[in-house]
Amino acid sequence: MNLAAITIEAKKNGLYQRQDGLWKLSLTIHPHDDLAWLLTAPMGQRLGMTIAALIDEQNAGAELRDPPSRAGSVPPTDAPKAPPAVKRRFDELPVPQQAALLCQDAAFQDWMGVRGRPDTRTEDTARHLRERLKIVSRSELATDDGARAAFQQLIAQFRQETGRETEVRG
Domain-embedded: residue 97 = yes
Domain-embedded: residue 126 = yes
- DSSP alpha helix (H) spans, 7-62: 36-40
Domain-embedded: residue 132 = yes
Do residues 106 and 124 make contact, with C-beta atoms less than 8 angstroms apart? Answer: no
DSSP 8-state code for residue 85: P
Distances, alpha carbon 142 to alpha carbons 58, 93, 133, 139, in Å: 44, 11, 13, 6
Domain-embedded: residue 54 = no
Structural domain of 147: 90-162
Domain-embedded: residue 42 = no
Domain-embedded: residue 34 = no
Domain-embedded: residue 128 = yes
Paired residues of 50 in beta bridges: none
3-state class (DSSP) for residue 136: coil
Domain-embedded: residue 25 = no
Give the C-alpha separation, 96 to 129, whole Å: 11
- Domain count for the chain: 1
Per-residue pLDDT of the chain (170 residues; tens, 9 = 90+): 555 566 777 777 788 778 778 888 787 776 666 666 666 777 777 777 777 766 665 555 555 565 555 554 555 556 566 677 778 888 889 999 999 999 999 999 999 998 878 888 999 999 999 999 999 999 999 999 999 999 999 999 999 999 876 544 44
Our measurement of the distance from residue 109's CA atom to the centroid of its chain's CA atoms, rounded to an integer in Å, reads 19
Q: Which residue spans within 7-119 are E strands per DSSP?
A: 10-17, 23-29
Do residues 123 and 111 make contact, with C-beta atoms less than 8 angstroms apart? Answer: no
